[in-house]
């Protein structure tokens, strides 16, 4: 028996989420009294490093066909590794890559699945794990009854924890199926932190009045290493790109800190951001519903407050 | 082209979420239901556009009980030609995917569309499962899809950006924002929908491998701390010392 963790890489480096996944897999393996094995596909980071987070060994499939994400190929190779290593639980991240694989993998392995979990499973007679449902408005406890189980973990739910030392790396001889998807071009968002992985997010809404006013939002975000986001009408009117749209019909995020600036806090918006650990709301309307979901509130004109906040952060930086 | 669109029914985005007394089931009393927005706004509308451009048929499939017919009728009003409902009360995504795949496997569909996730269970699973059962390629989170030659060029959301891929038909695709623009059904569509067939089929046997055993509400937030707008140093201090973030 084992817990098999897929550690995602990007551009030949492990993503922080790879370490989150291994930390989750290690803790799950402890619950089940077994070992945690990691697998990396294509051009990956330094595979032995995954041992630091609790992997007892790392399987590496360095086939260049796996440098691009082909859900079928990934599903097939991870399924082969799960079968060879008697995995009872397969752990993925609930990232774009993970979401592309989680369904296919559970169908392939005839495995019950829990996509988007945010807690470590329990195993007292039954294997159960919790996940958010109704776009973060509720939590469901899911019981998985199959021999093999597939779990995908919400990003930023678990911080990577160093518990061990570098692991041995084994080449895993997988049968990589021929690609049925050809990649024509890749267009990465340059420079900024990808929204779903960001620990701090600065988000703004219609209160900004127009796209020409976003300078202060970008300046604040850059200053504190945050990703930028927006409400749906802002993306729909092309003030900001669509990939910044957060909420029930946009990206769901759970950063450590979420700034909501000139956003009213409609229920559909809150649904995608209410799992954020700390929420700061800046809005001139004292009745704005967002204040009910906030930890810290500033009720004033954002065009006065945001520049002041930028100055305050600059001062703190200079003094530290 | 033969197009199949998987549609699901979800509570309206403003629905109050509550559960029965022992927290084992969603309390649907008084809840308005809608077609899952990703299925309706993006998957179905893009399928309609392809049909309008090149001819063919758009078939809807829903796995669910008779009360789902209202949602299916909305899809027919938007323009789908016909619909299948697999008559059951599904409890897991794998069960739903199995039913869809059983129906689709001999259907000769060129493209199977679904939404990128449902707004109730937020799984993002069904598309990938259907593709696996059908042995078809799966392209997740498509925000653009153009037919060319014997396949399609699809732009999809990946971690930290977008990627454009080519794929031959048949394939399964999940629809994300941008794939199409929402359409409001017109009176003629609504009238026509009444006469379009919804074929009801019984499910194939399949054991659930996952079940929700209980629901819970997220812990309540403490009251919001209101700050002096003149003093942003204080906010920065609190984020640093109290929330321990920055
Ligand atoms: C099916 C469905 C799905 C939806 N999905 C989403 C979703 O995923 N994400 C989403 O965001 N929305 C979604 N919506 C839309 C949602 O209902 C709201 O309309 C939207 O979130 C409002 O955006 P906003 O807060 O930017 O704008 P508004 O509601 O217009 O709010 C602007 C806010 O800015 C404040 N303001 C104005 N000027 C200033 C100033 N100078 N200083 C300080 N504050 C100021 C105002 O007081 C107000 O509170 C959805 C709606 C539906 C029906």
Run of H or E including A5: strand A2-6
pLDDT at B235: 97
Sign of CA dihedral B171, A105, A10, A116: positive
Model confidence band, residue A192 (pLDDT cutoffs 50, 70, 90): low
Question: Which of B:26-45 have CB within 8 Å of A?
Answer: 37-38
Model confidence band, residue A243 (pLDDT cutoffs 50, 70, 90): confident
Say if CB A131 and CB B113 are below 8 A apart: no
Residue A284 in contact with partner chain B when CB distance is under 8 A: no
B224/A291 touch (CB, cutoff 8 Å), yes or no: yes
| Residue with CA closest to ligand 1 atom 23 | A231
The phi-psi region of residue A8 (left if phi > 0; otherwise alpha if psi is between -120 and 50; otherwise beta) is beta
Per DSSP, the three-state class of A17 is helix
Residue B151 in contact with partner chain A when CB distance is under 8 A: no
Q: Across chain A, what does the average pLDDT equal?
A: 94
Say if CB A248 and CB B13 are below 8 A apart: yes
Report, at the CATH architecture level, how domain B2-220 is classified.
3-Layer(aba) Sandwich (3.40)
Half-sphere exposure of B233 (CA within 13 A, CB side): 4
Run of H or E including A282: strand A278-282
Domains of chain A, with CATH numbers?
Answer: 2-171 (3.40.50.620), 195-319 (3.40.50.1220)
The whole-number average pLDDT for the span B173-183 is 95
Model confidence band, residue B126 (pLDDT cutoffs 50, 70, 90): very high
The answer on pLDDT for A166 being more than 80 is yes
* Per-residue DSSP letter, A243: G
Q: How close, in Å, is residue A168 to chain B by CA atoms?
A: 28
Please give the number of the atom of ligand 1 that sits closest to the Cα of A262: 34
Q: Counting beta carbons within 10 angstroms of the beta carbon of residue B194, is it exposed (0 to 12), middle (13 to 18) or buried (19 or more)?
A: exposed
Rg (CA), chain B: 21
The whole-number average pLDDT for the span A181-197 is 82
B93-104 and B126-134 helices, crossing angle to 10°: 40
Question: What's the predicted TM-score (pTM) here?
Answer: 0.92
Question: Which of A:128-147 have CB within 8 Å of B?
Answer: 128, 130-146
Say if CB B227 and CB B235 are below 8 A apart: yes
Q: Which residues of A170-191 are buried (b: 16+ CB within 10 A; e: fewer)?
A: eebebebeebbbeeeeeeeeee
Residue extents of the structural domains in chain B: 2-220
Model confidence band, residue B136 (pLDDT cutoffs 50, 70, 90): very high
Query: Could you report the per-residue pLDDT of B101-124, keeping only the tens digit for each?
Result: 999 999 999 999 999 999 988 899
Say if CB A91 and CB A57 are below 8 A apart: no
Residues of B in Cβ contact (< 8 Å) with A125: none
């Amino acid at each position: 028996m084992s817990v098999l963790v897929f550690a995602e890489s990007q551009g030949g480096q492990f993503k922080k989420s790879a370490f989150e996944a291994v930390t989750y897999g290690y803790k799950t393996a402890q619950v089940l009294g077994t070992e945690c094995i990691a697998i990396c596909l294509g051009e990956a980071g330094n595979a032995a490093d995954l041992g630091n987070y609790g992997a007892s060994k790392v399987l590496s499939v360095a086939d260049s066909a796996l440098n691009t994400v082909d859900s079928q190929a990934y599903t097939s190779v991870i399924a082969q590794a799960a079968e060879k290593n008697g995995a009872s639980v397969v752990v993925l991240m609930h990232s774009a890559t993970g979401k592309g694989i989680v369904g296919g993998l559970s169908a392939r392995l005839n495995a019950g699945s829990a996509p988007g979990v945010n807690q470590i499973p329990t195993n007292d007679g039954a294997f159960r794990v919790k996940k958010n449902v109704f776009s973060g408005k509720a939590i469901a406890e899911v019981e998985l009854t199959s021999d093999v189980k597939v779990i995908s973990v919400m990003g930023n739910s678990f911080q990577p924890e160093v518990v061990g030392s570098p692991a041995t790396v084994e080449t895993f001889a997988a049968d990589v199926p021929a690609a049925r998807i050809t990649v024509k071009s890749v267009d990465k968002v340059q420079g900024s932190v990808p929204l779903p992985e960001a620990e701090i997010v600065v988000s703004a809404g219609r209160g900004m009045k127009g796209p020409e006013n976003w300078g202060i939002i970008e300046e604040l975000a850059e200053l504190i290493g945050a990703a930028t986001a927006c409400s749906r009408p802002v993306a729909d009117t092309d003030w900001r790109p669509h990939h910044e749209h957060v909420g029930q019909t946009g990206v769901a995020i759970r950063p450590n800190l979420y700034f909501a600036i000139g956003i009213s806090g409609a229920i559909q918006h809150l649904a995608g951001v209410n799992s954020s650990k700390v929420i700061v709301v800046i809005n001139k309307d004292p009745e704005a519903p967002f204040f009910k979901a906030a930890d810290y509130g500033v009720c004033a004109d954002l065009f006065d407050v945001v520049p002041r906040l930028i100055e305050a952060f600059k001062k703190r930086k200079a003094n530290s | 082209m033969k197009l199949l669109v998987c549609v699901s029914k979800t509570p309206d985005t403003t629905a109050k979420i509550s559960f029965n007394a022992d927290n084992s089931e969603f309390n649907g009393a008084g809840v308005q239901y809608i077609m899952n927005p990703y299925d309706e706004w993006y998957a179905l509308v893009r399928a309609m556009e392809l049909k309008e451009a090149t001819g063919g048929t758009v078939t809807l499939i829903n796995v669910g009980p008779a009360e789902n017919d209202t949602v299916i009728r909305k899809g027919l009003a938007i323009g789908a030609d016909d619909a299948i409902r697999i008559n059951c009360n599904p409890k897991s995504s794998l069960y739903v995917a199995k039913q869809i795949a059983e129906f689709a496997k001999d259907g000769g569909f060129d493209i199977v569309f679904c939404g990128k996730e449902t707004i109730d269970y937020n799984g993002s699973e069904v598309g990938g499962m259907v593709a696996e059962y059908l042995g078809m390629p799966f392209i997740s989170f498509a925000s653009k899809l153009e037919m060319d030659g014997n396949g399609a060029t699809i732009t999809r959301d990946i971690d930290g950006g977008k990627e454009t891929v080519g794929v031959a038909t048949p394939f399964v695709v999940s629809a994300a924002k941008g794939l199409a623009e929402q359409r409001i059904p017109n009176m003629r569509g609504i009238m026509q929908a009444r006469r379009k067939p919804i074929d009801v089929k019984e499910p194939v046997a399949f054991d659930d491998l996952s079940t929700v055993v209980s629901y819970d509400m997220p812990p309540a937030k403490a009251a919001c701390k209101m700050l002096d707008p003149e003093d942003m140093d204080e906010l920065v201090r609190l984020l640093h010392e109290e929330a321990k973030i920055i």
